[in-house]
Amino acid sequence: ENLIGVLALQGDVHEHIRAIEACGETAVPIRRAAELAGLAGLILPGGESTTMDKLIRSFGLAEPLKEFIASGQPVYGSCAGMILLADRIVDPATDLGGQPQQTLGGLDIAVRRNAFGRQRDSFETELTFSGLSDPERPMHAVFIRAPWVESAGAGVQRLATVRIEGADRAVAVRSGNLLATSFHPEVTGQRGVPSELRVHELFIRMIKQEA
Ligand code: GLN
């Protein structure tokens, strides 16, 4: 039994739990450090990274989460979760009452928050996502005030890109135990029935050490 945690301070926690359950695995919301013990993997959901940062710090979760990430257990971040996993933010929020926005880090990337905003705030598109058993089947991807990967270290694999204003921007990356997407596979589908489970399936294969 692989128990998967979803950080449940803010954001689309329930959608991730439902997607994991639709894959036949078990997911639980995580609010306290003690609950990280025994997890096989952790999801950092989409939402608002500045709010999550504030809550992570005020709940004393920053160090336990950094330790979990460093332990080698698989961690998947979608959207705001990608920002939390990034080692660097190009344009961190500075209006958080003193300290600038921080991340947990671990993933050797720099992200740009709300990166598509100048062009399109929120949009949906079809992507080619490598590393799947059927990479030629397009992935329907929902972007909501999403970040993109501005730059990445040599050890980071780009799994999907979006072409925008003549440049290919990475929107899905993996490095070792860490997986991140700019978009929200967990919100694809209707009436609570997820229709795009392949990112969550990939994450589960990482947990089972099959990918
Ligand atoms: N723009 C949000 C942030 O900076 C991310 C949006 C999302 O998770 N859908 O945290």
SS3 of 138-200: CEEEEEECCCEEEEECCCCEEEEEEEECCEEEEEEEEECCEEEECCCHHHCEECCEECCCHHH
Contacts of 43 (CB under 8 A, 6+ apart): 4, 5, 6, 7, 16, 20, 27, 75, 76, 77, 78, 81, 203
Does 92 contact ligand 1 (Cβ within 6 A)? no
* Pocket flag, ligand 1, residue 103 (CB < 6 Å): no
Which of 7, 16, 44, 49 should be mutated for ligand 1, with most atoms under 8 A from CB?
49
Picking from 1, 4, 27, the residue whose alpha carbon sits closest to that of residue 14 is: 27
Structure tokens at 3: 């128990």
Predicted TM-score (pTM) of this structure: 0.96
Report ipTM (2 d.p.).
Answer: 0.94
Number of structural domains the chain divides into: 1
| Centroid of chain to Cα 51 | 15
Residue 16 appears among annotated catalytic residues: no
Q: Is 23 a catalytic residue?
A: no
CA dist., res. 161 & res. 157, Å (int): 11
CATH of residue 146? 3.40.50.880
Per-residue pLDDT of the chain (211 residues; tens, 9 = 90+): 899 999 999 999 999 999 999 999 999 999 999 999 999 999 999 999 999 999 999 999 999 999 999 999 999 999 999 999 999 999 998 877 778 899 999 999 999 999 998 667 899 999 999 988 888 899 999 999 999 999 999 999 999 999 988 999 999 999 999 999 999 998 887 776 778 999 999 999 999 999 9
Token pair, residue 18, equals 């439902």
**Containing structural domain, residue 89:** 3-207
Q: Is 200 noted as a catalytic residue in this protein? A: no
